[in-house]
Structure 1
């Protein structure tokens, strides 16, 4: 096992989990899904002397991107998303921000491919495309530390809703079974909402799949 630390700030109207990860001996972080109040997120990490090296999105729904522009501007970090999610990130109708009265569209600086490996802040990870919650949802897997940032694909004893644009329950179930349940049982899963879980626990207890 590595020495990867996962820290969480939960905020916004949907109580979204905003994670940032770093090596135990480093102040450089990868930030996931800035849900809202990007300046607050930046200042909170600044107080702890953390430097954001990259902003990674699991998907483009409003409650995961409202803080992107402020955090990108304040931190200077670039934004990454899976290539299948570009249009939803940009379109307020697709990402549901228009429907909730606060239209937002963001354009990622870079688009990942499925299976692409990356390294930021001395941390190596891999993109796992998991369409279903949205057409371009993805998860981020850190094999050395057996950690998965799952966004709204997999929750503790649940999965993400699929009634918003580009969602598909059949695709989501297939993604979880074929892409996530093949990971080691010990893998710790950090979802976009709710409590941390493990792959092994979900294989035994998740009635949705």
Structure 2
């Protein structure tokens, strides 16, 4: 099986990490959390010779969805999100985009379930529901590659904020402890902001756990 590659652009007012995942030597990518400027993201990926096979959201906050419409329009890719996040994705009040002066909503094309295994363009991942940062936050786990896209649930030495609509610190800590800390130490974590880390590092050093 080809090696799984994870690359990113960091963009937007919140310096959000937009990830694209692909198999080495292949052209299909899965796009995670198009933070902003979807048309530009499409152009950059196209210049590199990539084809956007799907758009996946870890949650629906404005700084993770502002680029969805443009990327979807240019690529024709479907938008995937955890079923528990549909309401927030579709509300510019709950996703806080109205409050920051740039209202935006997204209607997912495919709603995912906790524990569901998904295959897109030959790449397989599992959906892990991790309520807390928002009630419908989720992570995407590529088990064979040891890769976790954690959104704003788990950061290097920290966890996501919970003071925005539908957030809960107790739920977040429980999600990380019960759903993520059971993964192998060598799993690489790619968060929505900041640098990558590992499950083993967070198990040892994350003060929130």
Q: Name the TM tier (shorter chain).
A: over 0.9
Give how far 1:2 is off.
5.8
Taking the aligned partners of 2:19 and 2:10, their CA distance within structure 1 comes to: 8
The one-character-per-residue Cα deviations of 1:72-117 (angstroms, maximum 9, x if unpaired) are: 0100000000000000000000000000000011100010000001
Which residue does 1:116 correspond to in 2? 116
2:190 matches 1:174? no
Secondary structure at 1:115 match in 2: coil
**What TM-score do you get using the length of structure 2 for normalisation?**
0.99
Distance 1:197 1:158, change over 3 A: same
Which residue does 1:26 correspond to in 2? 26
**What TM-score do you get using the length of structure 1 for normalisation?**
0.99
Which residue does 1:57 correspond to in 2? 57
Give how far 1:25 is off.
1.7
Taking the aligned partners of 1:192 and 1:16, their CA distance within structure 2 comes to: 6
Which residue does 1:5 correspond to in 2? 5
How many residue pairs match? The answer is: 209
Q: Which runs of 5+ in 1 are unaligned?
A: none
2:53 matches 1:15? no
Q: Structure 1: which 4+ aligned runs deviate by more than 4 Å?
A: none
Taking the aligned partners of 1:111 and 1:169, their CA distance within structure 2 comes to: 25
Taking the aligned partners of 1:83 and 1:198, their CA distance within structure 2 comes to: 27
Taking the aligned partners of 1:130 and 1:141, their CA distance within structure 2 comes to: 12
Indicate the RMSD between aligned Cα atoms, in angstroms: 0.8
Give how far 1:159 is off.
0.3
Which residue does 1:77 correspond to in 2? 77
Give how far 1:121 is off.
1.8
Which residue does 1:127 correspond to in 2? 127
Q: Is the 8 A contact 2:60 2:89 kept in 1?
A: yes
Give how far 1:139 is off.
0.1
Q: Is the 8 A contact 2:2 2:24 kept in 1?
A: no
Taking the aligned partners of 1:136 and 1:15, their CA distance within structure 2 comes to: 22
Q: Which runs of 5+ in 2 are unaligned?
A: none
